[in-house]
Amino acid sequence: MLGDGEFDKRIVEGDVEVWVTMMGPYLNMNTAFIDRSNDLVAIIDPFDAFAWCGELERQGLRPTHILYTHTHRDHTAGYSQMVSLIPDLEVWGHEDARVPQLLEFPVFGKVDFNRTWSQPPLLSVEWSVGNIHLTVTHTPGHAPGHVTLHGHEVFHAGDLLFTNGMGRVDLPGSDPSSQVRSIGRGKEILKRLPNDWRMIPGHRYEWIDGSTPDWVSVGDALEHNYALKSV
Ligand SMILES: [Fe+2]
């Protein structure tokens, strides 16, 4: 189990490195994809900009892209510091996650995307930069414009799925019916992925045996996750 701000780093097929960490009091999981040959670093939902930039800098790297699963405050916590440290960052999110009408609720954080995805719910688009190739799927329900991202042997679920569960649907902007459809779409995708890929949740919560693993395999998620089993 990762300590706060500790990184799991591995090189996967396609000469891309995948770094995973857990950060902060809400146990947020962050994933980064690194293409050293092109100096590219794409980080999903970076929680602590200084921790990320420091760790990357020690290896001569800097963030180039940040990719948002959704704009709840705990997922956007690193945004302001990140863009002040790296002003030319590409900041990606789904068009529907621009929610000015919901910013009055403390659960949301303000992010100015300078690039967006805009596919309808349940559809996937391919996103590539250098050797990094990800599939981005629009999975609203927990939050407007929520997306999952998969590629390079991981499925980063954001708050669509936890190891044994799913994101809340009682928050401002949540939509329980959309969430059910999005979980179904997630299940479809997971069933087509290799069973040994990692399913990385948005938060590190309890697994079926009371442990709190950083991730579970796609196979284990499909077999045990109660939300996946219910659709
Ligand atoms: Fe969330």
- pLDDT class for 13, splitting at 50, 70, 90? confident
pLDDT at 93: 98
pLDDT at 116: 98
Separation of CA 18 and ligand 1 centre (Å): 22
Question: Can you read off the two tokens belonging to residue 103?
Answer: 């910013």
What are the backbone angles phi and psi of residue 149, rounded to the nearest 5°? -135, 130
- CATH code, domain with 96: 3.60.15.10
Separation of CA 196 and ligand 1 centre (Å): 26
Separation of CA 36 and ligand 1 centre (Å): 30
Cβ pair 65, 42 in contact under 8 A? yes
Whole-angstrom Cα distance, residue 157 to residue 201? Answer: 5
Indicate the SS3 state at residue 216. strand
| DSSP bridge partners of 137 | 124, 148
Separation of CA 73 and ligand 1 centre (Å): 8
Separation of CA 171 and ligand 1 centre (Å): 9
- Is the model's pLDDT at 169 over the cut of 80? yes
- pLDDT class for 15, splitting at 50, 70, 90? confident
Amino acid at 94: H
Instruction: Give per-residue pLDDT as tens, 100-147.
Output: 999 999 999 999 999 999 999 999 999 999 999 999 999 999 999 999
Indicate the SS3 state at residue 70. coil
Instruction: Give per-residue pLDDT as tens, 180-196.
Output: 999 999 999 999 999 99
Separation of CA 145 and ligand 1 centre (Å): 11
- For the segment 48-52, the average pLDDT, to the nearest whole number, is 98
With respect to residue 153, please indicate whether it lies within any of the assigned structural domains.
yes
Q: State the residue range of the domain holding 158.
A: 7-229
pLDDT at 88: 96
With respect to residue 1, please indicate whether it lies within any of the assigned structural domains.
no
- Is the model's pLDDT at 1 over the cut of 90? yes
pLDDT at 91: 98
pTM of structure: 0.97
- For the segment 183-210, the average pLDDT, to the nearest whole number, is 98
What's the domain count of the chain?
1
Separation of CA 202 and ligand 1 centre (Å): 8
With respect to residue 124, please indicate whether it lies within any of the assigned structural domains.
yes
Separation of CA 75 and ligand 1 centre (Å): 7
The b-or-e profile of 106-144 (16+ CB within 10 A means b, else e) is ebbbebebeeebeeebbebeebebbbbebbbbbbbbbbb
With respect to residue 2, please indicate whether it lies within any of the assigned structural domains.
no
With respect to residue 216, please indicate whether it lies within any of the assigned structural domains.
yes
Separation of CA 58 and ligand 1 centre (Å): 30
Separation of CA 122 and ligand 1 centre (Å): 18
- Is the model's pLDDT at 14 over the cut of 80? no
Whole-angstrom Cα distance, residue 153 to residue 172? Answer: 33
pLDDT at 223: 98
